[in-house]
């Protein structure tokens, strides 16, 4: 299903589902850090693949990224299939500050230990976000082990985007951001779903709405 | 003064003279540089995938098309394929252990395409697991490649 075939009612429903996931993730983040979290409005919108990088910054911006591959189990299909990506991203210096906050350390070097703490954060946030979505939609979303990387924004995102670039002009981007105000730490959370999988999700939402 | 032209993902630029073509933040994407030393004419494409499969896509994302159109432009400017040199940069596999062959497929397709067209590949900075930015100087055809990790190189 290409994004322009999703009507506005379905978009609202997708946003609603994503809000539930984002809410749970921010709750988990608040619990981890012991800080108050400000959550940006969870947005669901179709973007041209080439424009997505620029929503977060210039392509050469240094970022620390944690990503998990999402697998889903659908009634219509046998077994599980890859359905998309869960991505948590910080600007590089912010990532170091965040890591020192959760490791309760003063150091701000983005070393292997810091990357591990980011992976762990990605794991916890994706778990709470995807569990909430799974429960609401009553199907299974399974996340892979987290992977982390510090590199340029454009370089980090292009292989995710390329996965969809052969089939569609635009993709639906689910995104929000979390701000730990007292520390001025902002992180971006976003989900990219395989366009075909969105068909299943929308069907499921319609079924829930009709019941 | 040297003019700098930024080439974004899925874009392709041709220029000549005192110009630097730059493209930033390549991961699995590949920068295809083609140069005519005689005419000081250069083309840079920032491609995402090897081949077009869906004809409804409007963007300039594909290696085979980018090479086709650039070579056509060189021909229009009186350059034969055998007089051109190509340099390619990118095609990384950014996340270890991810079964994602996009970078490798991109590079292999580009190599095969240039071989078919009789264009020599003079240099490559490809694969690995880190991002790259490039500056392609049309004064001499040199390409400067920088990464977040390791030294900046000129190819």
ipTM of the complex: 0.92
Q: Which active-site residues of B does the annotation give? A: 29
The count of domains in chain B is 1
CB contact at 8 A, B121 and B84: no
pLDDT at A196 over 60: yes
Among A49, A147, A168, whose Cβ lies nearest the Cβ of B95?
A147
B148 CB near a chain A CB, below 8 Å? yes
Query: Which residues in chain A are closer than 8 Å to B104, comparing Cβ atoms?
Result: none
Residue A195 CB coordination number (10 Å): 19
Give a yes or no: residue B73 inside a domain.
yes
Residue B61: which domain range?
Answer: 3-130
Give a yes or no: residue B135 inside a domain.
no
Residue B119 CB coordination number (10 Å): 21
CATH at B15 = 3.30.1330.200
Q: Which carries the bigger pLDDT value, residue B2 or residue A13? A: B2
B58 CB near a chain A CB, below 8 Å? yes
Residue A4 has which token pair?
Answer: 């322009």
CB contact under 8 A, B95 and A163: no
pTM across the whole model: 0.91
Residue A93 has which token pair?
Answer: 């210096």
For the segment A22-37, what is each residue's pLDDT rounded down to a tens digit? 888 888 888 888 888 8
Give a yes or no: residue B142 inside a domain.
no
pLDDT tier at B38, thresholds 50, 70, 90: very high
Residue B82 has which token pair?
Answer: 């055998």
CB contact under 8 A, A53 and B92: no
CB contact under 8 A, B98 and A166: no
User: Which CATH topology does A3-210 take?
Assistant: Chemotaxis protein chec (3.40.1550)
A62 CB near a chain B CB, below 8 Å? yes
Phi, psi of A171 (to 5 degrees): -130, 155
Mean pLDDT of B67-94: 96
Closest CA to A68 of B27, B130, B28, B98: B98
- State the pLDDT at residue B147: 95
């Amino acid at each position: 299903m290409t994004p322009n075939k999703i009507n506005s009612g379905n978009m609202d429903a997708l946003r609603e589902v994503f809000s539930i996931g984002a809410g749970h993730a921010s709750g988990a983040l608040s619990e981890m850090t012991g800080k108050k979290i400000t959550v940006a409005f969870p947005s669901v919108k179709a973007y041209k693949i080439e424009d997505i990088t620029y929503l977060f910054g210039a392509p050469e911006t240094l970022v620390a990224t944690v990503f998990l591959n999402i697998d889903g189990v659908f009634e219509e299909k046998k077994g599980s299939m890859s359905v998309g990506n869960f991505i948590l991203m910080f600007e590089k210096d912010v990532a170091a500050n965040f890591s020192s906050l959760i490791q309760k350390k003063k150091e701000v070097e983005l070393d292997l230990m810091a990357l591990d703490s980011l992976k762990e954060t990605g794991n916890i946030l994706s778990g709470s976000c995807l569990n909430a979505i799974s429960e609401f939609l009553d199907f299974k979303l399974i996340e892979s082990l987290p992977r982390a990387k510090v590199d340029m924004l454009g370089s980090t995102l292009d292989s995710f985007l390329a996965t969809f670039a052969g089939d569609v002009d635009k993709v639906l981007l689910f995104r929000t951001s979390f701000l730990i105000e007292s520390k001025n730490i902002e992180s971006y959370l976003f989900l990219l779903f395989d366009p075909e999988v969105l068909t299943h999700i929308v069907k499921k939402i319609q079924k829930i709405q009709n019941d | 003064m040297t003019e700098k032209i930024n080439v974004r993902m899925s874009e392709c630029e041709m220029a000549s003279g005192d110009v630097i073509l730059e493209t930033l933040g390549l991961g699995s994407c590949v920068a295809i540089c083609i140069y005519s030393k005689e005419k000081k004419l250069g083309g840079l494409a920032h491609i995402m995938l090897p081949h077009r499969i869906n004809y409804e896509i409007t963007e300039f994302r594909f290696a085979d098309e980018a090479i086709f159109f650039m070579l056509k432009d060189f021909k229009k400017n009186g350059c034969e394929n055998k007089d051109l040199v190509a340099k390619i940069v990118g095609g990384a596999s950014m996340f270890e252990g991810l079964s994602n062959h996009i970078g490798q497929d991109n590079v292999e397709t580009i190599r095969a395409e240039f071989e078919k067209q009789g264009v020599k590949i003079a240099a490559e900075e490809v694969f690995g697991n880190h991002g790259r930015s490039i500056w392609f100087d049309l004064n001499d055809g040199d390409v400067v490649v920088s990464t977040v990790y390791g030294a900046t190189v000129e190819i």
